[in-house]
Each structure stands twice: as structure tokens, then as C-alpha cells.
Amino acid sequence: MEKLNNSIDRSWIDKWNQPFIISGPCSAESELQILETANRLNPSHVQVFRAGIWKPRTKPNTFEGVGQIGLEWLHKVKKNTGLMVATEIANAEHVKLAISFEIDVLWIGARSTASPFTIQEIADALEGENNKIILVKNPIHPDIELWIGALERLSDKGVRKLGVIHRGFYTYKNSKYRNQPNWNLLLNFRSLLPRIPIICDPSHICGNKEGILDITKKAYHFQCEGLMIESHCDPDHAWSDAQQQITPENLLEMLEELTCIKKCDQKSKRDLDSFRILIDELDENIITLLAERMNISKKLGVLKKYSDIAILQPSRWEDLLKKSINFGKSLGISEELLEGIFKMLHKESIKIQNKN
Ligand code: PEP
Ligand code: MN
């Protein structure tokens, strides 16, 4: 870990005023769409223009990217605007093609990071390519070791201009996010590998336009050094991720708001706010779990009525209370709090079951 941390070359990000901004459409669709979006992005705010050429879609028979021709359009953006350009690569062939079209930044998608074989293939293809910036998105599931393992595979092949992208994690639970952010995991990542630049991708966390500003502010509180935000010249008609893309002009407004926040910021307030964000996220998770629990109580009530079983089963309740108190105490929670919470939960559950 120490070796990886020390090998990191941060020059690509340190030379810019933060945050480092990567923006552009989810997918390249046509030369016109690419050039128009790039021209409308303000180069004094944006450092890298992104577009997906090969798209890892969840379902087959959907748009899976324009392929190689999109690299020509990206190359044109680079020549016309002076912006660096970025695309997602997922195998050795993609790496070879992206290098031949002088793509500056290559990112590895969340599905690829989850596969050590894929990462190894990409790392092997990158051997000796020490000028490219390689950004590794978090794996789909919150496995910090797998994420770090991907960085180690790349670093072992001499890749030094590394960064990571926090794009949130798949969750089976109901959630207001498309991919659940995990700020606590990010704090752990930072303490293990303090030199690796962290970029936040609010677009894939939110899955909608409305939440992007909020996640952008949170990313700032957690000291992310950059942002990757999807923008499109005509977001409502985008061929992929239409719900979450914003116009280049909306992006500019958002970045201006962020600059205002930064101007009136104090370090102590920033630290306080980041703890509050962690607490708020946990409270949301607790409430989501409570709703799930109440839903099961409702089903249980129906079953008990149907099977002619009494709603209140004292021995089951005593067992549950004892088990929960013991477990909670092993995690350092006071017995008084556990008892109070579980008595209230049980009372509510009985009420719900009796409603049937
Ligand atoms: C993307 O950036 O367009 C993308 C497919 O991202 P992810 O790998 O985070 O799903
Ligand atoms: Mn996308």
C-alpha cells in the first residue's frame, strides 16, 4: 500500500485550481452532438471533455456506443478546444485504439473494476504508457480491497498518473440514489492512500439532474479534488442516461454556486458539515430499514390472521429483545437506548399487525 501511495504522480491534477472538472455526454452519439457539447462547455471551468464510446449497458439490445468513430470526434474536440479528452476503456483493444487517437484520460468503469481479469488485461496493455491519466471508478459493490487491488495492478505495470472516481455503489434497497454514495468508505480510502486524487461522479450517484448539486456540495465537504458530471447539448434526447445529464450552461451555474460556497468557507465549518453529512446519510438508511421492517410486520399480521395465531407472542418478543440488546451492547450501544428503541418498535409492529 505504501509503495502504491508513494508511486503516485499527482502533477496532472495539482497544476489546476480545484475542483478539476471532467464533463461531457454519457455517450458519443454523433459528431455534431460531440462538437456542440464541447463548444458550449466553458474551457475556463472544464479541464477534460468526456464521452463514452463503448458503453457497458445493463441490458442487451440497447445502444452500446458508436465505437471507434467516436475516437475521431474526440480527437477533433482536443484539436479544436484544447481540452483534454477522456473515454472509458474495458479491454486491451480499447486501450490500443484510445492511445492511437491520443486520448489523454482513460477511465475504467465500475463493472470492469469489479473484475480482476479485466483489470489485469488493461494493466498489461498500459505497460510503458506512462503519460496517460488513468482513473479507476469504484467497483459496483463497496469492496475497498478490490478497488485498491485494481490500482495495485496498474501501478505494478508502471502507471503513475492514477486517480479514482467515486460513482456510488449498487444497492438492492429502496434508495433515492441510483448508486448509493459511501462517504465513510471514501474517508477510509483517503486515510489508506492519501496521495491518490479522488474525483466524485454525482451523475451516476444520483441518476437524476435534481440531486447533482447536493452531491457536488457533499463531494466538496469530503475534499474530493475533482468532479465528473455528465453534460449534453440536448439532454432530454440523449441516447443513454437522459435523466441525469444536464446542459453545459447548467453545469456552469452549478460550478459558480460551488465557488461561492468555497469563498465563504471556514475549515472548522467544513469539518462539522462533513460529520453532519455522515449522520444524515446514516439516518436515511435507518429510516429506509424501518420502512422495510414495518412492511414485513404488515405481511406477518395478514399471515397470523389467516392462520389464526395470536398477534402477541410473548416468548418470541422476549427472545428478540434479549438478542437485540446483547448484539447492540457488543457494539458499544447502551442497554437503555436499545431497550427504549425496541419497545417502541415492537409496540408499533403490534399496532400494524392488528390493523389487518
Ligand atoms: C459512465 O461514466 O458513463 C459509466 C458507464 O459509468 P459507470 O461505470 O460508473 O457506470
Ligand atoms: Mn452514463
Q: How confident is the model at residue 67 (pLDDT cuts 50, 70, 90)?
A: very high
Q: How confident is the model at residue 46 (pLDDT cuts 50, 70, 90)?
A: very high
Mean predicted confidence (pLDDT) in 171-197? 94
Counting atoms of ligand 1 from 1, which one is nearest the CA of 165?
Answer: 9
Over residues 274-316, the pLDDT tens digits come to 899 999 989 999 999 999 999 999 999 999 998 988 888 899 9
Distance (angstroms) between ligand 1 centre and the Cα of 325 equals: 42
Query: Considering every ligand atom, which ligand is closest to the CA of 244?
Result: 2
Residue 267, pLDDT > 80, answer no
Find the distance separating the first CA and the last CA of the chain, reported in whole Å.
57
Question: What is the DSSP track for 139-208?
Answer: PSS--HHHHHHHHHHHHHTT--SEEEEE--B--SS--SSSSB--HHHHHHHHHH-TTS-EEE-HHHHHSS
Cα separation, 222 vs 220, in Å, equals 5
Residue nearest atom 8 in ligand 1 by C-alpha distance: 109
Domains of the chain from N-terminus onward: 2-265 (3.20.20.70), 269-355 (1.20.59.10)
Distance (angstroms) between ligand 1 centre and the Cα of 110 equals: 6
Counting atoms of ligand 1 from 1, which one is nearest the CA of 50?
Answer: 2
Over residues 80-139, the pLDDT tens digits come to 999 999 999 999 999 999 999 999 999 999 999 999 999 999 999 999 898 999 999 999
Residue 265, pLDDT > 80, answer no
Distance (angstroms) between ligand 2 centre and the Cα of 42 equals: 21
- Beta carbons of 261 and 312 less than 8 angstroms apart: no
- Beta carbons of 40 and 246 less than 8 angstroms apart: no
Angle between helices 31-40 and 248-263 (to 10 degrees): 30
Distance (angstroms) between ligand 1 centre and the Cα of 109 equals: 5
Residue nearest atom 1 in ligand 1 by C-alpha distance: 26
Q: Length of the chain in residues, anyone?
A: 356
Query: Considering every ligand atom, which ligand is closest to the CA of 205?
Result: 1
pLDDT confidence of residue 270: 79
Residue nearest atom 3 in ligand 1 by C-alpha distance: 26
The pLDDT > 90 percentage for the chain reads 84
pLDDT confidence of residue 193: 98
Q: What is the CA radius of gyration of the chain?
A: 24
Query: Considering every ligand atom, which ligand is closest to the CA of 56?
Result: 1
How many CB atoms are located within 10 Å of the residue 329 CB?
12
Residue closest to 83 by CA, chosen among 24, 129, 167, 134 = 24
Residue nearest atom 6 in ligand 1 by C-alpha distance: 109
- The answer for residues whose C-beta is within 8 angstroms of residue 46's C-beta and 6 or more apart is 21, 22, 23, 83, 251
